[in-house]
């Protein structure tokens, strides 16, 4: 009976009080020393690392603590809120410390078995690594402007491979560790709580920036404000898609759950996520938001959902300011290039000849940075082609694109299977239904942005992917 009622985060066997006390004392001494060091050298970032070290120690009591922390900090990892390096050491940052401690605790406890699915390895990870190896020889051919304005955090081939191929895959590793925690948890739906907390943290960080800057909301809707959120570390489009995915995951859980307290928390969090998304004025996020709600209406169609949809449309029509509509319809009165924010003439058309340089396996990750139109300054100076599909063909060739699409097709089938699985709790079924909707949103908006590779804006989708693998490893899906 005790085992049946144990917390999802509790360790099966508690450590002895003497060991616990020793570890607590060690952690406190380590934190005190680290804080003293931070004051001495003027590196406040060291404080965050010290906190991460303490968290890393806690992870060894139960690796699932690390999984909870990863859900909390995955979105923050791309922001300037958490240091990306301390004392010039690129890999010394809170995210890497937590993920390393969680991985060690998980492997030492034998909890990671079954969490290296073949489709993920062969259809996704291996193609990225191969494309990274192909691109290493071009590290010195990159357009110099990207080094001069500190856009890139490397200057040589090994640094290129680390930043372009290895670092993004840490998101995948984090997702698998979350999956391992799901596999060994009695109530996996409790992991929805840190996901909601993570949304609140990001939204409050965004609201705080807006308040501190003193800008008008109408200004944020303008073309000249698209880089406003770069102060956080994320572009407005990235931030908007982050919230849209979180909204999708929570919307279907809200519908399925019978827990009134959870329903209230989900409504509040969805409201905050929606407001934060609107304040990014990202048209890609708006499109994704529309897709998710349309799928919800189709899948859950009845009088109640129809009434809710009509009410929502009426409220939006009444309260939406003019500058929001101007942002949504930007360029409609000019031409397609204007609607695309100069993607067509400034990026896509100049890059088309590059597709045939190495059509089968591509030119290497980030190949736009050394492409002919880039180095001859005949296109916009951007590090991304603003299309996941175009990027995949440029960097990984048609073979890479096919492999990527095959992997995401695998995810679609798995999400759909769990979304209708009667053996799961209503909350988990709803969660995977939301993940399915988020995946459709990912496919559609990928034509005009984002990437098929791991990106911060879709970190919540990767949380869902990890939870999916953990659920399948936990028990049969049928």
* pLDDT, tens digit (0-9, with 9 covering 90-100), for 358-397: 999 999 999 999 999 999 999 999 999 999 999 999 999 9
pLDDT score of 437 more than 60: yes
Task: Indicate the range of 48-52, 229-233, 302-306 predicted with least confidence.
Answer: 48-52
Name, of 35-44, 70-79, 281-290, 426-435, the range with top average pLDDT. 426-435
Average confidence (pLDDT) over 431-447: 97
Name, of 62-71, 84-93, 319-328, the range with top average pLDDT. 62-71
Average confidence (pLDDT) over 60-68: 92
How far is residue 28 from each of residues 51, 129, 136, 188, 202, measured CA to CA in Å? 10, 40, 43, 31, 28
Helix ranges (DSSP H) in 121-221: 126-136, 145-148, 157-161, 167-183, 192-213, 217-220
pLDDT score of 259 more than 50: yes
Q: Tokens 């995948």 label which residue?
A: 172
The beta-strand segments (E) located in 223-317 are: none
* Same structural domain, 321 and 451: yes
Residue 44 has which token pair? 């406040």
* Same structural domain, 97 and 124: no
pLDDT score of 348 more than 70: yes
How far apart, in whole angstroms, are the C-alpha atoms of residue 295 and residue 241?
17
Residue 271 has which token pair? 């409201």
pLDDT over 90 percentage in the chain: 65
Q: What is the pTM of this model?
A: 0.88
The beta-strand segments (E) located in 325-458 are: none
* Same structural domain, 164 and 22: no
* Same structural domain, 245 and 278: yes
Residue 123 has which token pair? 């259809």
pLDDT score of 269 more than 90: yes
Beta carbons of 150 and 80 less than 8 angstroms apart = no
- The pLDDT score that the predictor gives to residue 475 is 56
How far apart, in whole angstroms, are the C-alpha atoms of residue 155 and residue 140?
8
pLDDT over 70 percentage in the chain: 86
Q: What is the dihedral sign for C-alpha 83, 55, 168, 9?
A: negative
Residue 156 has which token pair? 């040589």
Beta carbons of 225 and 219 less than 8 angstroms apart = yes
Average confidence (pLDDT) over 208-223: 89
Average confidence (pLDDT) over 206-217: 91
Beta carbons of 252 and 292 less than 8 angstroms apart = no
Helix (H, G, I), strand (E, B) or coil at 86: strand
pLDDT score of 201 more than 80: yes
Q: Which residue, 113, 136, 163, sits at the end of a domain?
A: 113
- The pLDDT score that the predictor gives to residue 88 is 65
Q: State the pLDDT confidence band at 125, using cuts at 50, 70 and 90.
A: very high
- The pLDDT score that the predictor gives to residue 456 is 92
Nearest C-alpha neighbor of 472 from the set 430, 427, 411: 411
How far is residue 277 from each of residues 44, 157, 318, measured CA to CA in Å? 30, 37, 19
Nearest C-alpha neighbor of 195 from the set 83, 78, 105, 273: 273
Residues in the chain: 478
Beta carbons of 362 and 395 less than 8 angstroms apart = yes
Q: State the pLDDT confidence band at 133, using cuts at 50, 70 and 90.
A: very high
Beta carbons of 194 and 265 less than 8 angstroms apart = no
Residue 370 has which token pair? 């050394």
* Same structural domain, 172 and 267: yes
Domain containing 50 equals 1-113
How far apart, in whole angstroms, are the C-alpha atoms of residue 394 and residue 416?
31
Phi, psi of 86 (to 5 degrees): -130, 135
Higher-confidence residue of 271 and 25: namely 271
* Same structural domain, 156 and 8: no
Q: State the pLDDT confidence band at 21, using cuts at 50, 70 and 90.
A: low
* Same structural domain, 406 and 290: yes
Higher-confidence residue of 301 and 185: namely 185
* Same structural domain, 150 and 26: no
Q: State the pLDDT confidence band at 223, using cuts at 50, 70 and 90.
A: confident
Q: Which residue, 113, 138, 163, sits at the end of a domain?
A: 113
Higher-confidence residue of 267 and 336: namely 267
- The pLDDT score that the predictor gives to residue 89 is 67
- The pLDDT score that the predictor gives to residue 156 is 95
Beta carbons of 397 and 361 less than 8 angstroms apart = yes
Q: Which residue, 84, 113, 142, sits at the end of a domain?
A: 113
Torsion angle in degrees (nearest 10) through CA of 189, 193, 196, 197: -160
Mean pLDDT of the chain: 87
Q: State the pLDDT confidence band at 90, using cuts at 50, 70 and 90.
A: low
pLDDT in tens, 156-180: 999 999 999 999 999 999 999 999 9
* Same structural domain, 69 and 188: no
Number of domains comprising the chain:
2
* Same structural domain, 65 and 174: no
* Same structural domain, 173 and 118: yes
- The pLDDT score that the predictor gives to residue 35 is 46
How far apart, in whole angstroms, are the C-alpha atoms of residue 471 and residue 473?
5
* Same structural domain, 35 and 129: no
Average confidence (pLDDT) over 85-113: 84
> Can you name the residues that pair with 86 across neighbouring β-strands?
89
- The pLDDT score that the predictor gives to residue 130 is 98
Q: State the pLDDT confidence band at 427, using cuts at 50, 70 and 90.
A: very high
How far apart, in whole angstroms, are the C-alpha atoms of residue 201 and residue 317?
29
Higher-confidence residue of 131 and 51: namely 131
């Amino acid at each position: 009976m005790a085992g049946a009622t144990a917390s999802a985060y509790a360790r099966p066997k508690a450590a002895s009080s003497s060991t616990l006390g020793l570890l607590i004392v060690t952690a406190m001494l380590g934190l005190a020393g680290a804080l003293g060091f931070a004051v001495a050298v003027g590196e406040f970032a060291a404080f965050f690392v010290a906190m991460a070290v303490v968290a890393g120690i806690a992870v060894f009591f139960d690796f699932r603590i690390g999984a909870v922390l990863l859900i909390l900090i995955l979105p923050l990892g791309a922001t300037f809120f958490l240091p990306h390096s301390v004392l010039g050491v690129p890999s010394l940052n809170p995210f890497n410390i937590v993920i390393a401690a969680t991985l060690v605790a998980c492997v030492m406890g034998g909890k990671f078995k079954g969490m290296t699915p073949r489709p993920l390895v062969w259809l996704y990870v291996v193609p990225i690594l191969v494309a990274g190896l192909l691109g290493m020889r071009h590290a010195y051919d990159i357009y110099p402007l990207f080094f001069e304005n500190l856009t890139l955090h490397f200057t040589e081939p090994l640094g290129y491979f680390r930043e372009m191929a290895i670092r993004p895959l840490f998101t995948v590793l984090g997702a698998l560790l979350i999956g391992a925690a799901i596999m060994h948890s009695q109530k996996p739906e409790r992991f929805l709580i840190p996901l909601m907390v993570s949304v609140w943290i990001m939204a409050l960080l965004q609201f705080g920036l807006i308040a501190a800057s003193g800008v008008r909301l109408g200004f944020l809707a303008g073309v000249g404000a698209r880089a406003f959120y770069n102060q956080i570390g994320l572009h407005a489009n990235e931030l908007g898609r982050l919230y849209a995915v979180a909204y999708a995951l929570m919307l279907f859980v809200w519908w399925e759950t019978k827990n009134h307290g959870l329903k209230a928390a989900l409504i509040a969090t969805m409201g905050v996520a929606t407001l934060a998304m609107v304040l990014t004025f990202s048209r890609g996020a708006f499109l994704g938001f529309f897709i998710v709600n349309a799928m919800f209406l189709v899948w859950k169609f009845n009088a109640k959902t129809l009434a809710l949809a009509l009410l929502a449309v009426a409220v939006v029509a009444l309260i939406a300011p003019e500058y929001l509509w101007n942002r949504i319809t930007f360029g409609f009165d000019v031409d397609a290039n204007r609607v695309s924010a100069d993607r067509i003439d400034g990026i896509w058309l100049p890059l088309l000849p590059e597709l045939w340089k190495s059509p089968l396996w591509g030119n290497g990750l980030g190949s736009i940075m050394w492409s002919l139109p880039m180095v001859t300054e005949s296109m916009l100076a951007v590090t991304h082609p603003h299309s996941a599909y175009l990027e995949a063909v440029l960097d990984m060739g048609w073979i890479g694109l096919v492999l990527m699409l095959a992997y995401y097709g695998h995810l679609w089938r798995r999400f759909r299977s769990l979304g209708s699985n009667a053996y799961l709790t209503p909350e988990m079924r709803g969660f995977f239904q939301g993940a399915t909707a988020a995946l459709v949103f990912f496919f559609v908006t990928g034509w005009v942005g984002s990437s098929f590779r791991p990106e911060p804006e879709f970190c919540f989708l990767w949380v869902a992917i990890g939870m999916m693998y953990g659920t399948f490893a936990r028990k049969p899906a049928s």
